[in-house]
A and B are shown apart, each in its own frame.
Chain A
Amino acid sequence: MEKLLKDKKAIFLFTFPTFLLFTVIVVLPIFFSIHYSTLQWDGFSKSVFVGLSNYRSLFVDNTDGFVQSVVNSLVLALISVGIQLPISLLLALILARGVRGERFFRTVYFIPVIISTVVIGQLWMKIYNADYGMLNIVLRALGLGKYANAWLADTRTALASVFIAMLWQYIGYHMLLMYAGAKSISPDIYEAARIDGASETQMAFRITIPLMKPILCVCVIFAVTGSFKAFDLIYVMTGGGPLHATEVPTTLMYTTIFSRYQYGYGSAMAIFIIAECLVCTVVIQKLFNRNAED
């Protein structure tokens, strides 16, 4: 048995393909990207080494609106944590405390998460459509026709409209994580609290939520990094327009690389996004841990 499990050839056969593919397709490209980000290069002609100047032009004398796109993604992160997560938490707490049809609600709330972004995008584009969209129809029916709008074509409303669709899609995802967290708390604790005369609300705030801290930390990290990495739904719904009103770093990166052929500059954006995600992950973990020690 021992001899079998030390079979070098088998170990190699079992692990090397994974190692090779993973290294070539995930790890090496990151180093390539870092390298590209120091070049001025259109992908075809000879590249010129420019040091960190691509990173500099992201923020200093920026002309393509990268700073604004970062601000947009920060706003998304903020409302994701401030609005989406509380809604998910409320739903998770209600379902976890036991209501009839718990399983049904849990299953149904999760549905938007599994649907293709292209489908979700088309759905919401129809909802926001100026002529026959559901939103305008409802507004007109309520006698609020003057507020009817071409939601995605108006620079003042486009960003909010896209964000609402994005928040909607992932409410169920966070709900499920929080639900699992709430469910893993021992019922005995509630029993004890009830004997001491605690109300449902008190138990939620004093017991459930504090004990859910680890999963809440995960949810906040997912919500924040997810906002920084958001691409699909914005790309489908507006492509960053109208007039760059809905641009986020990823959509800008995509057009910089594949429409403007600024490979070096676009790679600097990619590296910035990765760095942003890593830093925020660490900071959020630190914040949660410090709170836990108090």
Chain B
Amino acid sequence: MIREMGQESSRRYNRTKKRFRWPSFFLYLFLGIVTVIQVYPLIWLFLFSFKDNNEIYSGNAMGIPHIWRISNYYTVMTGGNVGVYFGNSVIVTGITIAVSTILITTSAYAIVRMHWKAKNIFLNYILLGMMVPIHATLLPMFIVLRNLNLLNSYLSLILPYVVFALPMGVFIMVGFMKNIPRELEESACLDGCNIYQMFWRIALPLVRPAIATVAIFTFLSSWNELMFANTFISNDSLKTLTVGIMALSGQQGTAWGPIGAGLVIATVPTLLIYFIFSDQLQKSVIAGAIKG
């Protein structure tokens, strides 16, 4: 959708070029300044991650490092627990994406394709979740998890992450499935397959783009989540990357270079996924907003 819009606009731009005269220089200067403001902090972080405290305190907190201390990365991955935190984030996020994808696709399939009376009520019920701020659920969940002895477990994070991914995911998936023609499924059914095969072999491959969209969304929200992770996990060996690094940087006499390296490590997967899927991601943000 966005790509189409992009082509559309460049066509429009060409057509109107003669009369369309922004004071170009100032326009691009402005856009350039905004670009620097939006991106410079990241570049700064990257440079910061190669310095040591001496260099930072002696006035070179901003510029190019005098020595590129790649060892900062080595230190933080092996010395601290950042390797462990990273692993925890991968496990929690990975399972969250897998489970939420299964729940979202099956529910959306039942809502869009199958015949039962309460399906619209069910859809609206789930969509209500988009309105609920997570704060309201924090304390009750904490108490329940404490009583079940589930604090300090992966499950205590995976459960809320999965559930809070459902409303948006179901919304996007239902919208997508509605636009897929039924013919393929009908012809498959003539060959005699059951409902599960129809879902798994026919419908699921067709909604792959929507699955990607939903998965990216879920990735971002669980990878970056702070409040649940900070509340439900106190055991250092189970902390996720965000909480772990926050704890590291709160300590006195911290070596800032390795912390910077840790922050870069936490950011790189997000940036990679963003650059690979940025079109898909931007689409999903817009899709989410239109329901709002």
Q: Which of A266-292 contact B (CB under 8 A)?
A: 266-267, 270-271, 273-274, 277-278, 281
Contact of A98 with B12 at beta-carbon distance under 8 Å, contacts A32-B140, A114-B274, A137-B61 already known: yes
B16's partner among A99, A107, A177, A194 (CB-CB below 8 A) is: A194
Contact of A168 with B37 at beta-carbon distance under 8 Å, contacts A116-B266, A122-B259, A132-B56 already known: yes
Q: How many residues of A contact B (CB 8 A)?
A: 101
B115–A26 touching, CB < 8 Å: no
Contact of A258 with B227 at beta-carbon distance under 8 Å, contacts A4-B198, A119-B267 already known: no
A99–B27 touching, CB < 8 Å: yes
Complex interface: stretch among B68-76, B102-110, B205-213: B102-110
B245 at the interface (CB under 8 A from A): yes
Contact of A258 with B231 at beta-carbon distance under 8 Å, contacts A15-B110, A18-B106, A103-B6 already known: yes
A26 to B159, CA, bound (A): 11
B137–A33 touching, CB < 8 Å: yes
Nearest neighbor of B193 in chain A, beta-carbon distance? A4
B269 to chain A, nearest CB (A): 10
A7–B290 touching, CB < 8 Å: no
Contact of A18 with B270 at beta-carbon distance under 8 Å, contacts A94-B31, A109-B35, A132-B57 already known: no
B180 at the interface (CB under 8 A from A): no
Chain B residues, CB < 8 A from A25: 137, 141, 159-160, 163
B163–A26 touching, CB < 8 Å: yes
**Which of A11, A19, A124, A127 is most buried by chain B, counting CB atoms within 10 A of its CB?**
A11
Q: Which of A47-92 contact B (CB under 8 A)?
A: 91
A80 to B115, CA, bound (A): 45
Contact of A117 with B224 at beta-carbon distance under 8 Å, contacts A98-B12, A183-B9 already known: yes
A111–B163 touching, CB < 8 Å: no
Contact of A200 with B20 at beta-carbon distance under 8 Å, contacts A137-B62, A176-B282 already known: yes
B285's partner among A171, A177, A229 (CB-CB below 8 A) is: A177
Chain B residues, CB < 8 A from A200: 20, 22
A133 to B159, CA, bound (A): 39
A210 at the interface (CB under 8 A from B): no
Q: Which of B237-292 contact A (CB under 8 A)?
A: 241-243, 245-246, 249, 259, 263, 266-267, 270-271, 274-275, 278, 281-282, 285-286, 289-290, 292
A126 at the interface (CB under 8 A from B): yes
B98 at the interface (CB under 8 A from A): no
A97 to B109, CA, bound (A): 39
A178 to B267, CA, bound (A): 26
List residues of chain B with CB under 8 Å of any chain A CB.
2, 5-6, 8-10, 12-13, 16, 19-20, 22, 27-28, 30-31, 34-35, 37-39, 41-42, 44-45, 48, 56-57, 59, 61-62, 103-104, 106-107, 109-111, 113-116, 122, 125-126, 129, 131-133, 135-141, 143, 159-160, 162-164, 166, 170, 186, 189, 194-196, 198-199, 220, 223-224, 226-227, 230-231, 241-243, 245-246, 249, 259, 263, 266-267, 270-271, 274-275, 278, 281-282, 285-286, 289-290, 292
- Given A25-B159, A190-B16, 7 further pairs, Cβ under 8 A: A22-B129, A102-B6, A108-B38, A112-B41, A177-B286, A200-B20, A267-B139
24 contacts between A and B (CB under 8 A): A5-B195, A6-B114, A11-B110, A14-B199, A21-B163, A29-B140, A105-B31, A107-B282, A112-B38, A116-B241, A116-B267, A120-B41, A122-B263, A131-B57, A132-B59, A137-B61, A172-B38, A176-B282, A180-B5, A194-B16, A200-B22, A225-B133, A235-B226, A257-B138
